[in-house]
Structure 1
């Protein structure tokens, strides 16, 4: 017997997350164009009516998929860690913030969406959230950098990360030597550390 039964709200939130997770799995397997409420319901073990009680339509599910991926990226320890070697390794492997191949594929699918203002707004909202978190983390590490320098560093990191995501999703970088890539990324990131002065000591990093 469950001594701590879930409240109605908790059950609803759990069901919503199940729907989002299954929608992500289906999108990775078949693409967004093939995603349907009927398939999501079947994969979730729910009826279409139960899906519609959680989400207004497929677009709202897609919006929540985007937000879910964003939250997962921000919560990944690698997102908060300032370790040149590990960061260079992640970039060279094509999996920034330790994103899986499935997440990369889905993110690429989402980035290709056009013509839907609500989804575009959600993407922009997610990007802003990532940017705000990134700026906060950079300020913690680059203690002596000016606000303008922090913004510039953030832009470089974002350009590297998003470039890796897109090129990996398209399969452009699969034949490139990862060891060489890692050395290049390490050199670039180390130079950035040197250029902008004092960096927070490693023992204070979030593990």
Structure 2
């Protein structure tokens, strides 16, 4: 059997991305459990057979949807490095790590309802990658901090970020003044700097 040609691979990849984008839009609009392969095929103007040539089943499509969202989070993680004002604005807005409201809501729904082992594995693997990448960034910034201290700082930042995702997705923080919240986040981030950056200067 001949290996697929580059144009054919490119066409397949574009079709896969179309299916993923369509599935994301439909699950955001209707909910994770209310969307079928037939719905995705109809909305993307493909036949069910074309869908199945790209993905094994709906679960595999959703795995890739979640992977797309978590990859966005990975890209957003290191973008601003250590600009406390930008990080505080991001936290106060309720949309950390480069994800928007709809993606955040879907991610929250998946976290709370998915019994799919592969989806949960994708989320766990991404969390480990984000933790590792975050610790690398922190190591560059807090040059004299110990491994244990870096791990503790990353846990504080992760707790803040995950807390924001949870509360925003549930609507618990919608009535909070964003400007006041931003000032508090800046103070918290500066407090961490005051402990570790001042020590760096002293050394």
Tell me whether the two structures share a fold, i.e. TM-score over 0.5.
yes
Q: Does 1:136 align with 2:170?
A: no
How far apart, in 1, do the equivalents of 2:54 and 2:162 lie? 31
Establish whether residue 157 from structure 1 lines up as the match of residue 120 from structure 2: no
User: What secondary structure sits across from 2:97 in the alignment?
Assistant: helix
Q: Which runs of 5+ in 1 are unaligned?
A: 201-207
Give, in whole Å, the separation in 1 of the partners of 2:21 and 2:153: 33
* Count of aligned positions: 196
**Aligned pair 1:83/2:67, yes or no?**
no
Distance in 1 between residues matched to 2:122 and 2:44, nearest whole Å: 24
Distance in 2 between residues matched to 1:16 and 1:123, nearest whole Å: 20
TM-score by length of 1: 0.88
Q: Structure 1 57/98 Cα, relative in aligned 2: closer, same or farther at 3 Å?
A: same
Deviations, residues 88-125 of structure 1 (Å, cap 9, x unaligned) = 01111111123211111111111112432222212211
**1:104 matched to which residue of 2?**
104
The answer for unaligned runs of 5 or more in structure 2 is: none
Separation (CA, whole Å) in 1 of partners of 2:14 and 2:198: 44
Please give the per-residue CA displacement for 1:2-52, whole angstroms capped at 9, x wherever unaligned.
xxx962222211211111111111111111011211111112121111111
| Separation of aligned partners in 1, 2:67 and 2:80 | 18
Q: SS in structure 1 opposite 2:113?
A: coil
Aligned to 1:205: none
Give per-residue Cα distances to partners, 1:111-161, cap 9 Å, x unaligned: 112432222212211211222221222222221111111111111111100
User: What residue number does 1:8 align with?
Assistant: 8
Question: What is the alpha-carbon root mean square deviation over aligned residues?
Answer: 2.0
Distance 1:114 1:39 in 2: 20
Match of 2:175 in 1: 175
Q: CA deviation at 1:80?
A: 4.4
CA distance in 2, matches of 1:94, 1:199: 31
TM-score by length of 2: 0.89
What is the distance in 2 between the residues matched to 1:70 and 1:97? 9
Distance of aligned partners of 1:27 and 1:143 in 2 relative to their CA distance in 1, 3 Å threshold:
same
Q: Name the one with the larger helix percent.
A: 2
